[in-house]
């Protein structure tokens, strides 16, 4: 493999796609789109990160699909399948699978560049897929005469459909009872979900499309030494990347809200641990006052962090004195607040406070 030759061929393919093939199918040639695709290809070939800001109408989706296809067709190193595409929009995920890739495949196959279509699959979290064992159990529990006919028909449809999102009239109650559990210990020899995962791991899909939550979950699995969600891959495309920080906050963030502290104080009073409740009220009073201020009046987050000093001393005392005799609810509330306070008062520098 001649790396320089392949690099040149890949860039020529991008020009051919946007200057000849797509315009022949009625698409307007956009210089900004071509330039964007070349920049993306450079990053893919060099194993680098490219941050690309594409204005409305430039055509970023075709830009990164063309770049990824060119990088795969003319590798400059070991291109590891699949290529991961992460978006925050279900509509965009479906569009990439059913509109963008089929058209790109069509024009490339018609031109003789490809001999078979570009294959892709949408990956989702476990709660979107059917567990065969749980579905069989649920169907045995249902009384057809008492079940809504449409909901019953939807439930039976799942015998042939793995992805529940494609089934109409399925009740939320049924979804919760037939979805793949977080700990998948299915005893069925021919589990459709496990078969689907094995298919995704075989490398037959050039693209695996997911949402930001699943991408972050895969990163968490890697960091914790768990089995990765995605097979080994060399290229990640993060579409709608401006929404990725919000997803990371939801999945990786730890919050400490005034309501959590107040609920803990009330729970201590209800369980008649009045001295502990009074100690916590006194130590968190300044913090609760600060959190009650409007956003316009609020000081930087450091002002709140300084007010955690007193609670960081009081909470461990309460934990030692009554932690073992609290109700399950009280114990859970105490541990949640205590863990958050410990985190926010720790000297770690690899966190972002907001």
The encoded tokens of residue 331 equal 């114990």
Give the up-direction half-sphere exposure of residue 8: CA atoms within 13 A in the CB hemisphere: 5
Which pairing describes strands 120-122 and 235-238: parallel, antiparallel, or unpaired? unpaired
Strands 207-211 and 235-238: unpaired
Q: What is the pLDDT of residue 186?
A: 67
Q: Give the dihedral of Cα atoms 288, 290, 292, 297; nearest 10 deg.
A: 180
Q: Is the peptide bond before 82 cis (omega within 30 degrees of 0)?
A: yes
Determine the pLDDT at residue 77: 74
The long-range contacts involving 16-20, CB below 8 angstroms and separated by at least 24 positions, are 16/111, 17/66, 17/70, 17/104, 17/107, 17/108, 18/62, 18/66
Instruction: Decide: 169 and 154 in contact? Cβ < 8 Å.
Output: yes
Residue 80: CB atoms within 10 A of its CB come to 13
> What pLDDT sits at residue 115?
92
Q: Closest by alpha carbon to 237, among 29, 352, 96?
A: 96
d(CA 30, CA 35): 9
Structure tokens at 36: 């964007």
Residues 6 or more apart whose CB falls under 8 angstroms from that of 3 comprise 76, 77
Q: What is the pLDDT of residue 264?
A: 96
The Cβ of residue 165 has, within 10 Å, a number of other Cβ atoms equal to 14
What count of residues does the chain have?
Answer: 354
Q: Compute φ and ψ for 130, nearest 5 degrees.
A: -85, 135
Rounded Cα–Cα distance for residues 318 and 265 (Å): 11
The sheet carrying 235-238 orders its strands as: 120-122, 207-211, 83-87, 235-238
Question: pTM of the entire structure?
Answer: 0.80
| 3-class DSSP state of 122 | strand
Q: Mean pLDDT for each 10-residue chunk of the chain (354 residues)? A: 84 96 92 95 92 87 96 80 91 94 95 93 94 92 89 93 92 93 76 91 92 94 91 92 90 90 96 95 94 74 89 95 94 95 86 78
DSSP one-letter code for 350: S
What gap in Å lies between CA 168 and CA 157, rounded to an integer?
10
């Amino acid at each position: 493999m001649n790396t320089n030759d392949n690099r040149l061929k890949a860039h020529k393919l991008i020009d051919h796609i946007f200057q000849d093939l797509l315009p022949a199918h009625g698409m307007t040639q956009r210089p900004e789109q071509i330039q964007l695709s070349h920049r993306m290809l450079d990053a893919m070939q060099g194993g680098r990160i490219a941050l690309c800001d594409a204005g409305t109408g430039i055509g970023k989706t075709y830009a990164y699909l063309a770049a990824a296809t060119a990088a795969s067709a003319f590798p400059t190193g070991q291109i590891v399948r699949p290529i991961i595409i992460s978006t925050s929009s279900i509509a965009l995920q479906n569009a990439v699978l059913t509109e963008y890739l089929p058209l790109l495949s069509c024009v490339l196959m018609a031109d003789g560049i490809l001999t078979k279509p570009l294959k892709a699959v949408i990956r989702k979290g476990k709660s979107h897929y059917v567990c065969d064992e749980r579905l069989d159990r649920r169907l045995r529990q249902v009384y057809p005469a008492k079940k809504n006919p449409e909901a019953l028909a939807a439930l039976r449809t799942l015998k042939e459909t793995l992805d529940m999102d494609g089934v109409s009239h399925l009740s939320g109650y049924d979804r919760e009872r037939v979805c793949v559990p977080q700990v998948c210990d299915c005893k069925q020899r021919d589990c459709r979900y496990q078969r689907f995962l094995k298919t995704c791991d075989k490398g037959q899909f050039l693209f695996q499309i997911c949402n930001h939550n699943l991408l972050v979950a895969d990163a968490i699995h890697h960091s914790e030494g768990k089995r990765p969600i995605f097979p080994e891959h060399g290229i990640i495309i993060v579409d709608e990347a401006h929404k990725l920080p919000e997803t990371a906050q939801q999945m990786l963030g730890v919050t400490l809200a005034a309501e959590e502290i107040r609920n803990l104080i009330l729970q201590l009073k209800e369980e008649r641990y009045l001295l502990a409740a009074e100690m916590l009220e006194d130590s968190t009073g300044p913090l609760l006052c600060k959190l009650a201020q409007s956003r316009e009046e609020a000081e930087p987050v450091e002002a709140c962090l300084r007010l955690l000093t007193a609670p960081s001393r009081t909470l461990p005392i309460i934990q030692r004195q009554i932690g073992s005799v609290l109700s399950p609810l009280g114990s859970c509330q105490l541990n949640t607040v205590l863990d958050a306070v410990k985190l926010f008062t720790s000297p770690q520098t690899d966190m972002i406070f907001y």
